[in-house]
Amino acid sequence: MDVKVLNTSANEQKLWKQLARLKEISPSLANCVDLERIKRVATDIHFYAENNSDFESQKEGGRGDVYRLAQRIPVVRAIGILNLFRLVASEENLENLLPNDLILDALGGDGVLVRALKQLLPESSIPNILTSDLSEEMIRGAVEYGIPALWQPAQQLLLKDRSMDGVILAYGTHHIPRAQRLIVCKEGFKVWWTFCSS
């Protein structure tokens, strides 16, 4: 019991710290976080993480280090990544993406999508992307690249309803337990502005 209480408060502290950093580098993304959800997510996150130890570091028995190493040159996946962003762009045209668009990359790893995009599109077409992931190591990696990042489970997002212009769930849905995949889709739809407002 004590251990759980301790862990929970430590998780909460981590989330508040990440939010403070997010505020510094992207106030508009930070503004999408629902502060009321922090405590609950901090409590529940380890429940979801139990199924995701694969992406932690090697010393914790995961293959996260090797994975991150393989993603150091993100443009090798240029075609697939550009196709993904076409799906969140208005009229599926990459030229319609704008820096003000808020996009959640919910299974984002260490930010390979945003890192690739920065090399593939002009600055005027790069949306404001929040990389989030269930693995702390992945988020640490994203932070080291200087990109906006948040530790959160796709099953239980910290974001306000209707706060995002697009949500990407890609290159990782097979890692979500089958029974939780519908919950993940519902969470995505909840925070996606266009869906809720139509």
**Contact residues for ligand SAM (CB under 6 A)?**
48, 52, 55, 71, 107-109, 112, 133-135, 138, 153-155, 171-172, 175-176
The first and second tokens of residue 183, run together, are 């919950």
Q: Which is nearer to ligand SAM, 24 or 54 (CB)?
A: 54
How far apart CA 144 and CA 109 sit, in angstroms, is 12
Q: Could you tell me the smallest distance in angstroms from the CB atom of residue 194 to ligand SAM?
A: 22
Q: Which is nearer to ligand SAM, 69 or 197 (CB)?
A: 69
Q: Where is 144: in which H helix or E strand? A: helix 136-144
DSSP three-state, residue 105: strand
Q: Which is nearer to ligand SAM, 109 or 166 (CB)?
A: 109
Q: Which is nearer to ligand SAM, 74 or 101 (CB)?
A: 74
Q: Which is nearer to ligand SAM, 140 or 160 (CB)?
A: 140
Q: Could you tell me the smallest distance in angstroms from the CB atom of residue 97 to ligand SAM?
A: 18
Contact 85, 94 (CB under 8 A): yes
Pick from 14, 56, 12, 38: nearest CA to 175: 56
Q: Could you tell me the smallest distance in angstroms from the CB atom of residue 198 to ligand SAM?
A: 26
Quote the distance between the C-alpha of residue 13 and its chain's center. Answer: 19
Contacts for 13-17 with beta carbons within 8 Å, 24 or more apart?
A: 14/42, 14/136, 14/151, 15/41, 15/42, 15/150, 15/151, 15/158
How far apart CA 140 and CA 187 sit, in angstroms, is 24
DSSP three-state, residue 28: helix
Q: Could you tell me the smallest distance in angstroms from the CB atom of residue 169 to ligand SAM?
A: 9
Q: Could you tell me the smallest distance in angstroms from the CB atom of residue 1 to ligand SAM?
A: 26
